[in-house]
């Protein structure tokens, strides 16, 4: 991977007015460039690392701002290079002025370039760099905790543990191959098979965490679906505890779908209110209904809502469109039904609720969270959170499976050694020991400038 060691700068805080803003500079010339526009009692280069200095920024002798400058000397900084941070008054006019002065002698950092340099200088592995991005985007307690654990090295440690195990088996095999050339046999193949099977099981368990991990990171997509007027928007508003969606007694009120993010017990839920499903000749309503079907297809969970009238036809239609595990049947307006009627729906597997009476909503929430809850211990022990990691673990699983087959079928140890090498490479990709420019681009392009 090409490493550009020129000096970069960027505003690291959001645009807008605030107490302070921070401008970050990283690279060999960081101290010198800042010093050229900064006056203080002590020079930056003479100040201890991690110490703040009060001073003033000047543009051609004219005062720009009073600031605090903090200098981090290489390699003890976020990027591993010399880093200087200028904390100025939080006003875009001031921050842009200071940045302009810095850009006379430095280059504007690309998205995520500070973190990319941290990765290239071995300050972070790739899973930790990804976690930095996830931390910035985390909207709920569990998404944050998941990113934080990964940043602290939970996944890194697990992958390194499995890699060490593989390296151990690979060196035993190499030794065996050497012995065989001398007509001797050394390793106990049965023991190796048993150990590889154990490792394979652990990797399969890890691969399974990917499904939940992605949901923790991206949110559980839940759509509210059903005939017009059954109370989809009312339930949507109850979840949000606001009057976000328009509710009226007129069927066909919701036309465009609405998406909002909420936190349920710290889990991120992306909730979609959709247009009621029915046959119609209205052009606008038709488009809305088509959108409802598009959302249904990409939802993890579909709350199929009815009021007192069953909607068997639509339910069958949905069941053909998505696997039925994803559909949760819900009876709304329970306040309008008798106990006998309600127990009939309960028996059929409906969750009974009333958006108006705020009744039964807790059951609904519990059902939504049922399959995605993870324990803090699980997060601490390392889970997969994105498709890149999941694909690599699956490749590792395939290679180990092949290695076990070749051992069982006595195909020759070279085959097993080759498969185990492939398995190691897959794990090395996860932590970024092996990586390509494309992958790094994909990861860091999702960051903001200044991180």
Ligand X SMILES: Nc1nc2c(ncn2[C@@H]2O[C@H](COP(=O)(O)OP(=O)(O)OP(=O)(O)O)[C@@H](O)[C@H]2O)c(=O)[nH]1
Are the C-beta atoms of residues 263 and 139 closer than 8 Å to each other?
yes
Token code pair at residue 9: 């700068």
Q: Can you tell me the distance from the alpha carbon of 267 to that of 219, in angstroms, rounded to the nearest whole number?
A: 7
Q: How far is the CB of 249 from ligand X (least distance, A)?
A: 4
Give the residue ranges of DSSP H helices in 121-222.
126-137, 141-151, 154-181, 189-218
Q: How far is the CB of 139 from ligand X (least distance, A)?
A: 25
Q: How far is the CB of 255 from ligand X (least distance, A)?
A: 8
Q: Can you tell me the distance from the alpha carbon of 294 to that of 275, in angstroms, rounded to the nearest whole number?
A: 12
Token code pair at residue 21: 């803003």
Q: Compose the 309-348 pattern: x for residues touching ligand X by CB under 6 A, - for all others.
A: -----------------------xx-xx------------
For ligand X, the nearest residue by Cβ is: 276
Q: Can you tell me the distance from the alpha carbon of 373 to that of 381, in angstroms, rounded to the nearest whole number?
A: 15
Q: Which of residues 272-301 bind ligand X (CB under 6 A)?
A: 276
Residue 355 in contact with ligand X, rule: CB under 6 A: yes
Nearest one of 417, 376, 424 to 160, comparing CA atoms = 424
Q: Which of residues 201-230 bind ligand X (CB under 6 A)?
A: 228-230
Task: Note the residue count of the chain.
Answer: 451
When the beta carbons of 100 and 335 are compared against ligand X, the nearer one is 335
Q: Can you tell me the distance from the alpha carbon of 19 to that of 89, in angstroms, rounded to the nearest whole number?
A: 6
Q: How far is the CB of 228 from Mg ion (least distance, A)?
A: 8
When the beta carbons of 110 and 307 are compared against Mg ion, the nearer one is 307
Q: How far is the CB of 347 from ligand X (least distance, A)?
A: 20
Among 70, 95, 233, 238, interactor with Mg ion by CB under 5 A? 233
Among 156, 217, 232, 402, interactor with ligand X by CB under 6 A? 232
Q: How many CB atoms sit inside 10 A of residue 303's CB? A: 26
Q: Can you tell me the distance from the alpha carbon of 284 to that of 278, in angstroms, rounded to the nearest whole number?
A: 13
Are the C-beta atoms of residues 106 and 31 closer than 8 Å to each other?
no
Q: Which of residues 12-31 bind ligand X (CB under 6 A)?
A: none
Q: Which of residues 233-272 bind ligand X (CB under 6 A)?
A: 233-234, 247-249, 251-254
Element (H, E) at 100: helix 92-103
Residues in contact with ligand X by CB under 6 A are 228-234, 247-249, 251-254, 276, 332-333, 335-336, 354-356
> What does the binding site for Mg ion look like in residue numbers (CB under 5 A)?
232-233, 253-254
């Amino acid at each position: 991977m090409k490493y550009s060691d020129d000096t970069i700068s960027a505003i690291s805080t959001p645009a807008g007015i605030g107490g302070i803003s921070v401008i970050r500079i990283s690279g060999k010339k960081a101290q010198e460039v800042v010093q050229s526009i900064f006056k203080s009692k002590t020079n930056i280069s003479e100040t201890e690392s991690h110490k703040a200095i009060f001073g003033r920024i000047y543009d051609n002798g004219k005062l720009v701002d009073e600031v605090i400058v903090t200098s981090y000397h290489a390699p003890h900084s976020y990027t591993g290079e010399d880093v200087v941070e200028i904390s100025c008054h939080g006003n875009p006019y001031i921050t842009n002025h200071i940045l302009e002065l810095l850009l006379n002698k430095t280059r504007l950092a690309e998205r995520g370039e500070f973190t990319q340099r941290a990765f290239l200088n071995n300050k972070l592995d790739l899973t930790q760099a990804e976690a930095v991005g996830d931390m910035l985007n985390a909207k709920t307690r569990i998404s944050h905790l998941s990113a934080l654990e990964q940043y602290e090295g939970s996944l890194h440690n697990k992958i390194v543990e499995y890699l060490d195990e593989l390296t151990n088996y690979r060196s035993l095999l190499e030794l065996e191959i050497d012995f065989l050339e001398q007509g001797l046999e050394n390793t106990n193949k049965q023991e190796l098979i048993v150990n590889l099977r154990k490792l394979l099981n652990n990797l399969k368990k890890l691969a399974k965490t990917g499904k939940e991990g992605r949901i923790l990171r991206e949110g559980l997509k839940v759509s509210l679906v059903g005939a017009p007027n059954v109370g989809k928007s009312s339930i949507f508003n109850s979840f949000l505890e606001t009057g976000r969606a328009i509710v009226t007694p007129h069927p066909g009120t919701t036309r465009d779908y609405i998406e909002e993010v909420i936190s349920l017990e710290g889990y991120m839920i992306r909730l979609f209110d959709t247009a009621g499903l029915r046959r119609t000749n209205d052009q606008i309503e038709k488009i809305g209904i088509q959108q409802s079907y598009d959302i249904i297809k990409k939802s993890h969970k579909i709350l199929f809502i009815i009021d007192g009238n069953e909607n068997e036809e639509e339910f069958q239609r949905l069941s053909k469109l998505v696997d039925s595990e994803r559909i949760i049947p819900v009876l709304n307006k329970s306040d309008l039904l008798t106990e006998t009627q309600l127990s009939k729906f309960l028996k059929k597997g409906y969750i009974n609720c009333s958006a108006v009476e705020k009744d039964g909503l807790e059951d609904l929430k519990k059902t939504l969270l049922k399959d995605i809850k993870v324990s803090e211990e699980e997060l601490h022990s390392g889970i997969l959170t994105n498709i890149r990691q999941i694909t690599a673990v699956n490749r590792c699983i395939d290679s180990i499976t092949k290695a076990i087959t070749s051992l069982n079928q006595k195909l020759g140890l070279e085959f097993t050694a080759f498969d185990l090498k492939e398995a190691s490479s897959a794990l090395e990709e996860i932590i970024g020991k092996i990586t390509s420019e494309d992958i790094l681009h994909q990861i860091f392009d999702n960051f903001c400038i200044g991180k």
